Amino acid sequence: MTRAAAGERGLVMSALSIPPILADTKTQTRRLLTFQEFQRSTTNGYDWTFRDKRLCWNDVNHERLLELCPYGKRGDRLWIRESWRSWPEVCHEDHAHGEHCKQVYVAYKATPRRGLRVEPDRVEITYLEESTPLDRNRNLAGPWNNPRYMPKWAARILLEIVEVRVEHLQDITDDDARAEGVIVGEMQDAIINGEPGRAVFFNARDAYAYHWNAINGARATWVSNPWVWALTFKRIAC
């Protein structure tokens, strides 16, 4: 079981973000830049001023600020934490049990029919055919583990950071909103009144604003236009 290497960090992603990452249509993510991170900069003697907890500096993407990014810098890697569960199994063949019989499986809530057999050979497997009811495999019924507690060895997605920026949330462009994995003009999965549902959006920025509020609205709404870390990444072999 591998451990995270230097320059690698775990990053929690919502279930709605996993499919577009796997399809390589989501190549950006935005995370709230907290007031505490501003405070950290002042202790190092950086030139900041505060005005209503908003950063006021001519060059917010100065290398000194980017060094504070808790998600890493260009070239660093992020392994994605998502809802998951794992279980061990022992084969029941009629021969002497060896190393090949030590098997550990991992399933993921975002795509419950696919997962990993991490031991002994770390290969992707399909638990059920698409037409088979999920209740045919009890391991796909959950309960699912909190993504915050996913260990590195169970992760199936590894990203490399291509760029880090600091900007206001509403500075996102239409192209950037699409790079966040939103879908325009098609019915898609969405969180409606706190429950999974379906919705359609006709503007990429509007779609992203909706998804931001669904995930981060309790901390900072789209309308509040907070400062965010804008990360661009590419998916690499895990």
Q: What is the pLDDT along the chain (238 residues), one digit of tens a residue?
A: 344 555 899 999 988 899 999 999 999 999 998 765 555 554 444 444 444 444 545 456 667 778 788 999 999 999 999 999 999 987 765 555 555 577 899 999 999 899 999 988 899 999 999 999 998 999 998 899 999 999 999 999 999 999 999 888 999 999 999 999 998 887 777 777 767 778 788 899 999 998 898 888 888 999 999 889 999 999 998 7
- Residue 93 pLDDT: 59
| Domain 8-80+157-236: assigned CATH number | 3.10.400
What one-character-per-residue DSSP string does 164-191 give? EEEEEGGG--HHHHHHBT---SS-EEEE
Residue found under tokens 């279980």: 87
- Residue 147 pLDDT: 97
- Residue 43 pLDDT: 47
Contact 153, 118 (CB under 8 A): yes
- Residue 53 pLDDT: 44
- Residue 90 pLDDT: 77
Residues with Cβ within 8 Å of residue 201, at least 6 apart in sequence: 182, 183, 184, 185, 188, 207, 210
What is the domain partition of the chain in residue ranges? 8-80+157-236, 83-148
CA 126, CA 122: separation in Å to the nearest integer? 13
In this prediction the pTM is 0.81
Q: Look at residues 6, 45, 17, 24 and name the one whose alpha carbon lies nearest to residue 237.
A: 24
Q: Look at residues 13, 43, 1, 2 and name the one whose alpha carbon lies nearest to residue 159.
A: 13
